[in-house]
Structure 1
Amino acid sequence: MGSEPIQGRMTARSQEGVTVFLIGMRINSFRAVRSWWPTFAAMPRMLKELSKEADSGLLGYRLLWGGPRVVYTVQYWESPEKLLAYAFAQGKEHRPAWAAFNRRMREGRDKVGFWHETYVVPAGAHESIYVNMPEFGLGAATGVVPVGRRGDRAAERLGGTA
Protein backbone atom coordinates (compact mmCIF):
# COMPACT_ATOMS: atom_id res chain seq x y z
CA MET A 1 0.00 0.00 0.00
CA GLY A 2 1.54 3.27 -1.10
CA SER A 3 1.48 6.36 1.06
CA GLU A 4 1.47 8.92 -1.74
CA PRO A 5 -1.93 10.35 -2.63
CA ILE A 6 -3.29 9.48 -6.05
CA GLN A 7 -4.62 12.67 -7.57
CA GLY A 8 -8.24 12.79 -8.63
CA ARG A 9 -11.26 10.63 -8.02
CA MET A 10 -10.62 6.90 -7.80
CA THR A 11 -12.73 3.86 -6.95
CA ALA A 12 -11.93 0.28 -5.99
CA ARG A 13 -11.06 -1.83 -9.01
CA SER A 14 -13.05 -4.83 -7.82
CA GLN A 15 -16.66 -5.15 -8.82
CA GLU A 16 -16.83 -8.69 -7.44
CA GLY A 17 -18.46 -9.65 -4.20
CA VAL A 18 -16.40 -9.24 -1.05
CA THR A 19 -16.56 -10.46 2.53
CA VAL A 20 -15.76 -7.80 5.10
CA PHE A 21 -14.61 -9.12 8.46
CA LEU A 22 -14.16 -6.82 11.46
CA ILE A 23 -12.46 -8.33 14.49
CA GLY A 24 -11.19 -6.70 17.62
CA MET A 25 -10.59 -6.68 21.31
CA ARG A 26 -11.25 -4.30 24.16
CA ILE A 27 -8.85 -4.07 27.08
CA ASN A 28 -11.10 -3.90 30.12
CA SER A 29 -8.22 -3.93 32.62
CA PHE A 30 -4.82 -2.60 31.52
CA ARG A 31 -3.25 -4.18 34.61
CA ALA A 32 -4.28 -7.68 33.48
CA VAL A 33 -1.60 -7.85 30.79
CA ARG A 34 -1.60 -11.67 30.85
CA SER A 35 -5.26 -11.61 29.82
CA TRP A 36 -5.01 -9.26 26.84
CA TRP A 37 -1.40 -9.21 25.57
CA PRO A 38 -1.47 -12.70 23.97
CA THR A 39 -4.67 -11.76 22.11
CA PHE A 40 -3.13 -8.48 21.01
CA ALA A 41 0.03 -10.26 19.79
CA ALA A 42 -1.79 -13.09 17.98
CA MET A 43 -3.47 -10.97 15.29
CA PRO A 44 -0.26 -9.75 13.59
CA ARG A 45 0.99 -13.36 13.40
CA MET A 46 -2.24 -14.48 11.73
CA LEU A 47 -2.21 -11.56 9.29
CA LYS A 48 1.42 -12.26 8.39
CA GLU A 49 0.61 -15.94 7.80
CA LEU A 50 -2.40 -15.07 5.62
CA SER A 51 -0.51 -12.42 3.65
CA LYS A 52 2.21 -14.92 2.72
CA GLU A 53 -0.32 -17.38 1.24
CA ALA A 54 -1.55 -16.13 -2.14
CA ASP A 55 -4.59 -18.43 -2.10
CA SER A 56 -5.63 -17.71 1.52
CA GLY A 57 -8.49 -15.51 0.36
CA LEU A 58 -7.38 -12.47 2.37
CA LEU A 59 -7.39 -9.53 -0.05
CA GLY A 60 -6.17 -6.90 2.40
CA TYR A 61 -6.58 -5.48 5.88
CA ARG A 62 -6.15 -2.41 8.03
CA LEU A 63 -5.21 -2.39 11.74
CA LEU A 64 -7.08 0.35 13.63
CA TRP A 65 -7.35 1.87 17.09
CA GLY A 66 -10.88 2.47 18.34
CA GLY A 67 -9.96 4.62 21.30
CA PRO A 68 -7.62 3.97 24.20
CA ARG A 69 -8.96 0.46 24.92
CA VAL A 70 -9.99 -0.99 21.55
CA VAL A 71 -7.85 -2.36 18.72
CA TYR A 72 -9.34 -4.04 15.67
CA THR A 73 -8.80 -4.96 12.05
CA VAL A 74 -10.92 -4.46 8.99
CA GLN A 75 -10.26 -7.38 6.66
CA TYR A 76 -11.37 -7.90 3.06
CA TRP A 77 -11.81 -11.51 1.95
CA GLU A 78 -12.59 -13.15 -1.40
CA SER A 79 -15.43 -15.15 0.14
CA PRO A 80 -16.96 -16.26 3.43
CA GLU A 81 -15.88 -19.81 2.58
CA LYS A 82 -12.19 -18.82 2.55
CA LEU A 83 -12.56 -16.89 5.80
CA LEU A 84 -14.18 -19.89 7.49
CA ALA A 85 -11.65 -22.29 5.98
CA TYR A 86 -8.88 -20.34 7.69
CA ALA A 87 -10.78 -20.19 10.97
CA PHE A 88 -11.04 -23.99 11.11
CA ALA A 89 -7.77 -24.97 9.41
CA GLN A 90 -5.54 -27.34 11.34
CA GLY A 91 -1.90 -26.30 11.56
CA LYS A 92 -2.54 -22.57 11.13
CA GLU A 93 -2.10 -19.75 13.65
CA HIS A 94 -5.82 -19.20 14.31
CA ARG A 95 -6.84 -22.44 16.05
CA PRO A 96 -4.23 -22.40 18.83
CA ALA A 97 -4.71 -18.63 19.31
CA TRP A 98 -8.48 -19.12 19.63
CA ALA A 99 -8.09 -22.01 22.10
CA ALA A 100 -5.63 -20.00 24.23
CA PHE A 101 -7.92 -16.97 24.13
CA ASN A 102 -10.86 -19.04 25.37
CA ARG A 103 -8.76 -20.39 28.25
CA ARG A 104 -7.73 -16.87 29.23
CA MET A 105 -11.35 -15.70 29.02
CA ARG A 106 -12.42 -18.39 31.49
CA GLU A 107 -9.54 -17.61 33.84
CA GLY A 108 -9.56 -13.82 33.59
CA ARG A 109 -13.30 -13.34 33.28
CA ASP A 110 -13.93 -9.77 32.22
CA LYS A 111 -10.35 -8.49 31.78
CA VAL A 112 -10.53 -8.50 27.98
CA GLY A 113 -13.44 -8.26 25.56
CA PHE A 114 -13.63 -9.68 22.06
CA TRP A 115 -15.92 -9.07 19.10
CA HIS A 116 -16.23 -9.74 15.40
CA GLU A 117 -18.68 -8.93 12.64
CA THR A 118 -18.87 -10.48 9.17
CA TYR A 119 -20.56 -8.91 6.16
CA VAL A 120 -21.00 -10.75 2.89
CA VAL A 121 -21.38 -8.08 0.22
CA PRO A 122 -22.51 -9.35 -3.19
CA ALA A 123 -21.21 -7.99 -6.48
CA GLY A 124 -22.92 -4.73 -7.35
CA ALA A 125 -23.76 -3.99 -3.70
CA HIS A 126 -20.70 -1.91 -2.82
CA GLU A 127 -19.10 1.22 -4.14
CA SER A 128 -16.25 3.44 -3.06
CA ILE A 129 -14.63 6.74 -3.82
CA TYR A 130 -11.19 7.99 -2.85
CA VAL A 131 -10.35 11.63 -3.67
CA ASN A 132 -6.68 12.61 -3.52
CA MET A 133 -5.99 9.62 -1.27
CA PRO A 134 -3.43 6.83 -1.27
CA GLU A 135 -4.94 3.42 -1.90
CA PHE A 136 -7.16 2.79 1.11
CA GLY A 137 -9.76 0.28 2.32
CA LEU A 138 -11.15 -1.93 -0.43
CA GLY A 139 -9.12 0.11 -2.91
CA ALA A 140 -5.92 -0.92 -1.15
CA ALA A 141 -7.07 -4.54 -1.12
CA THR A 142 -8.01 -4.74 -4.82
CA GLY A 143 -6.36 -1.73 -6.46
CA VAL A 144 -8.00 1.42 -7.76
CA VAL A 145 -9.17 2.77 -11.10
CA PRO A 146 -10.41 6.22 -12.10
CA VAL A 147 -14.04 6.75 -11.08
CA GLY A 148 -15.15 7.25 -14.69
CA ARG A 149 -14.43 3.61 -15.50
CA ARG A 150 -17.09 2.47 -13.03
CA GLY A 151 -19.45 5.45 -13.16
CA ASP A 152 -19.22 9.05 -12.00
CA ARG A 153 -22.02 8.74 -9.47
CA ALA A 154 -22.38 6.37 -6.53
CA ALA A 155 -25.66 5.03 -7.99
CA GLU A 156 -23.84 4.04 -11.19
CA ARG A 157 -21.07 2.29 -9.26
CA LEU A 158 -23.75 0.40 -7.33
CA GLY A 159 -25.05 -0.98 -10.59
CA GLY A 160 -28.03 1.34 -10.69
CA THR A 161 -29.52 -0.17 -7.52
CA ALA A 162 -29.36 3.00 -5.40
Structure 2
Amino acid sequence: MFAKPLPGRTTAAAEGDVVVLLIGMRINRFRAVHQWLPVVLSMPRMLRELARDKSRGLLGHVLLTASPRTYYVVQYWESKEKLYAYAAAPDMLHHKAWSIINRKERESKLHGHVGLWHESYIVPEGSYEAIYFDMPPFGLAAATGALPLERRGRRAADRFAHRSSAAEPTAQ
Protein backbone atom coordinates (compact mmCIF):
# COMPACT_ATOMS: atom_id res chain seq x y z
CA MET A 1 0.00 0.00 0.00
CA PHE A 2 1.31 3.40 -0.98
CA ALA A 3 1.06 6.40 1.31
CA LYS A 4 -0.79 9.38 -0.11
CA PRO A 5 1.10 12.62 -0.56
CA LEU A 6 0.33 15.32 1.96
CA PRO A 7 -0.66 18.46 0.04
CA GLY A 8 1.57 21.51 0.25
CA ARG A 9 4.65 21.96 2.35
CA THR A 10 5.24 19.98 5.52
CA THR A 11 8.07 19.43 7.95
CA ALA A 12 9.07 16.73 10.42
CA ALA A 13 7.48 16.82 13.87
CA ALA A 14 10.73 15.75 15.57
CA GLU A 15 11.30 17.07 19.08
CA GLY A 16 14.62 17.11 20.90
CA ASP A 17 17.79 15.44 19.67
CA VAL A 18 17.63 13.00 16.76
CA VAL A 19 19.79 9.87 16.55
CA VAL A 20 20.49 8.74 13.00
CA LEU A 21 22.07 5.39 12.16
CA LEU A 22 23.21 4.58 8.64
CA ILE A 23 23.89 0.88 8.33
CA GLY A 24 24.58 -1.20 5.28
CA MET A 25 26.42 -3.80 3.32
CA ARG A 26 28.24 -4.20 0.04
CA ILE A 27 28.29 -7.40 -1.94
CA ASN A 28 31.91 -7.85 -2.98
CA ARG A 29 31.52 -11.23 -4.69
CA PHE A 30 28.13 -11.88 -6.27
CA ARG A 31 28.84 -15.61 -6.67
CA ALA A 32 29.34 -16.06 -2.93
CA VAL A 33 25.56 -15.97 -2.37
CA HIS A 34 25.81 -18.32 0.62
CA GLN A 35 27.97 -15.69 2.39
CA TRP A 36 26.07 -12.46 1.67
CA LEU A 37 22.44 -13.63 1.44
CA PRO A 38 22.14 -14.31 5.20
CA VAL A 39 23.44 -10.78 5.82
CA VAL A 40 20.87 -9.31 3.40
CA LEU A 41 18.05 -11.24 5.05
CA SER A 42 19.02 -10.34 8.61
CA MET A 43 18.22 -6.62 8.34
CA PRO A 44 14.50 -6.97 7.48
CA ARG A 45 14.17 -9.47 10.33
CA MET A 46 15.73 -7.00 12.78
CA LEU A 47 13.50 -4.19 11.52
CA ARG A 48 10.39 -6.36 12.00
CA GLU A 49 11.60 -7.27 15.50
CA LEU A 50 12.00 -3.59 16.36
CA ALA A 51 8.63 -2.68 14.82
CA ARG A 52 6.92 -5.21 17.11
CA ASP A 53 8.35 -3.53 20.22
CA LYS A 54 8.27 0.28 19.94
CA SER A 55 9.79 0.59 23.44
CA ARG A 56 13.14 -0.49 21.92
CA GLY A 57 13.44 3.01 20.47
CA LEU A 58 13.44 2.71 16.68
CA LEU A 59 11.26 5.57 15.42
CA GLY A 60 11.42 4.72 11.72
CA HIS A 61 13.63 3.72 8.84
CA VAL A 62 14.19 4.00 5.10
CA LEU A 63 15.67 1.16 3.03
CA LEU A 64 17.91 2.40 0.22
CA THR A 65 20.01 1.04 -2.62
CA ALA A 66 23.21 2.87 -3.53
CA SER A 67 24.15 0.47 -6.34
CA PRO A 68 23.47 -3.12 -7.38
CA ARG A 69 26.14 -4.07 -4.81
CA THR A 70 25.42 -1.68 -1.94
CA TYR A 71 22.32 -1.56 0.27
CA TYR A 72 21.70 0.44 3.40
CA VAL A 73 19.13 1.59 5.90
CA VAL A 74 18.69 5.03 7.41
CA GLN A 75 17.30 4.54 10.91
CA TYR A 76 15.94 7.15 13.32
CA TRP A 77 16.21 6.35 17.03
CA GLU A 78 14.81 7.89 20.22
CA SER A 79 18.22 7.95 21.87
CA LYS A 80 21.74 6.59 21.64
CA GLU A 81 21.07 4.65 24.85
CA LYS A 82 18.20 2.74 23.22
CA LEU A 83 20.33 2.10 20.12
CA TYR A 84 23.15 0.73 22.29
CA ALA A 85 20.73 -1.34 24.34
CA TYR A 86 19.27 -3.00 21.25
CA ALA A 87 22.70 -3.67 19.76
CA ALA A 88 23.91 -5.35 22.96
CA ALA A 89 20.73 -7.21 24.02
CA PRO A 90 21.57 -10.94 23.97
CA ASP A 91 17.94 -11.91 23.28
CA MET A 92 17.65 -9.73 20.14
CA LEU A 93 18.48 -10.65 16.53
CA HIS A 94 21.26 -8.07 16.18
CA HIS A 95 23.33 -9.79 18.85
CA LYS A 96 22.78 -13.20 17.23
CA ALA A 97 23.61 -11.89 13.74
CA TRP A 98 26.85 -10.30 14.95
CA SER A 99 27.82 -13.50 16.75
CA ILE A 100 27.51 -15.39 13.47
CA ILE A 101 29.39 -12.70 11.52
CA ASN A 102 32.20 -12.63 14.10
CA ARG A 103 32.47 -16.43 14.02
CA LYS A 104 32.62 -16.47 10.20
CA GLU A 105 35.20 -13.71 10.26
CA ARG A 106 37.41 -15.70 12.68
CA GLU A 107 37.06 -18.70 10.38
CA SER A 108 38.01 -16.49 7.40
CA LYS A 109 34.76 -17.32 5.63
CA LEU A 110 33.52 -13.76 5.12
CA HIS A 111 36.73 -12.08 4.01
CA GLY A 112 36.22 -10.39 0.70
CA HIS A 113 32.68 -11.68 0.12
CA VAL A 114 30.64 -9.01 1.88
CA GLY A 115 31.45 -5.61 3.35
CA LEU A 116 29.59 -4.18 6.34
CA TRP A 117 29.47 -0.62 7.64
CA HIS A 118 27.58 1.77 9.87
CA GLU A 119 27.73 5.41 10.88
CA SER A 120 25.89 6.90 13.86
CA TYR A 121 25.05 10.56 14.42
CA ILE A 122 23.47 12.39 17.32
CA VAL A 123 21.92 15.52 15.89
CA PRO A 124 21.11 18.06 18.61
CA GLU A 125 17.84 19.93 18.50
CA GLY A 126 18.43 23.11 16.51
CA SER A 127 20.85 21.33 14.17
CA TYR A 128 18.31 19.73 11.84
CA GLU A 129 15.36 20.85 9.78
CA ALA A 130 13.24 19.28 7.07
CA ILE A 131 10.88 20.29 4.30
CA TYR A 132 8.67 18.11 2.12
CA PHE A 133 6.53 19.35 -0.77
CA ASP A 134 3.55 17.25 -1.87
CA MET A 135 5.23 14.16 -0.39
CA PRO A 136 3.93 11.33 1.74
CA PRO A 137 5.66 11.27 5.13
CA PHE A 138 9.26 10.31 4.34
CA GLY A 139 12.50 10.01 6.28
CA LEU A 140 12.42 11.96 9.51
CA ALA A 141 8.74 12.91 8.99
CA ALA A 142 7.79 9.25 8.55
CA ALA A 143 9.63 8.47 11.79
CA THR A 144 8.31 11.36 13.90
CA GLY A 145 5.18 12.61 12.12
CA ALA A 146 4.56 15.45 9.68
CA LEU A 147 3.39 18.98 10.47
CA PRO A 148 2.27 21.86 8.29
CA LEU A 149 5.37 23.91 7.53
CA GLU A 150 3.93 27.01 9.20
CA ARG A 151 4.08 25.27 12.61
CA ARG A 152 7.89 25.40 12.47
CA GLY A 153 8.49 28.30 10.06
CA ARG A 154 8.58 28.84 6.32
CA ARG A 155 12.33 29.45 6.24
CA ALA A 156 15.01 26.88 7.09
CA ALA A 157 16.45 29.30 9.67
CA ASP A 158 13.10 29.35 11.48
CA ARG A 159 12.89 25.56 11.52
CA PHE A 160 16.45 25.30 12.83
CA ALA A 161 15.50 27.73 15.60
CA HIS A 162 12.53 25.61 16.77
CA ARG A 163 12.84 24.27 20.31
CA SER A 164 10.56 21.68 21.84
CA SER A 165 8.74 22.62 25.01
CA ALA A 166 10.90 20.09 26.86
CA ALA A 167 14.03 21.97 25.78
CA GLU A 168 12.72 25.42 26.72
CA PRO A 169 13.81 26.79 30.11
CA THR A 170 11.09 26.93 32.74
CA ALA A 171 10.26 30.19 34.47
CA GLN A 172 10.83 30.22 38.24
TM normalised by structure 2 equals 0.89
- Structure 2, unaligned stretches of length 5 or more? 163-172
Runs of 4+ in 1 over 3 A off after TM superposition: none
- Which of 122, 125, 143 lines up with 2:124 in the alignment? 122
1:136-157 superposed Cα distances (whole Å, 9 cap, x missing partner):
0000001100111001100110
- Percent identical pairs in the alignment equals 52
Q: Bigger radius of gyration, 1 or 2?
A: 2
Match of 1:133 among 119, 124, 135: 135
For residue 101 of structure 2, what is the aligned residue in structure 1? Answer: 101
Q: Distance in 2 between matches of 1:80 and 1:69?
A: 29
The separation in 1 between residues aligned to 2:116 and 2:22, in whole angstroms, is 11
Query: Which residue type is aligned with residue 113 of structure 1?
Result: G
Unaligned runs of at least 5 residues, structure 1: none
> Normalising to structure 1: TM-score of the pair?
0.95
Give SS of 1:133's match: coil
Structure with higher strand content: 1
Find the residue that maps to 1:6 and give its secondary structure.
Answer: coil
Instruction: Give the conservation status (yes or no) of the 8 Å contact 2:90–2:96.
Output: no
Which SS does the other structure have where 1:47 is aligned? helix
Number of residue pairs matched by the alignment: 160
Please give the alpha-carbon distance, in whole angstroms, between the structure 2 residues aligned to 1:72 and 1:43. Answer: 9
Shift of 1:2: 5.5
Counterpart residue type for residue 5 of structure 2: P
1:69 corresponding residue in structure 2: 69
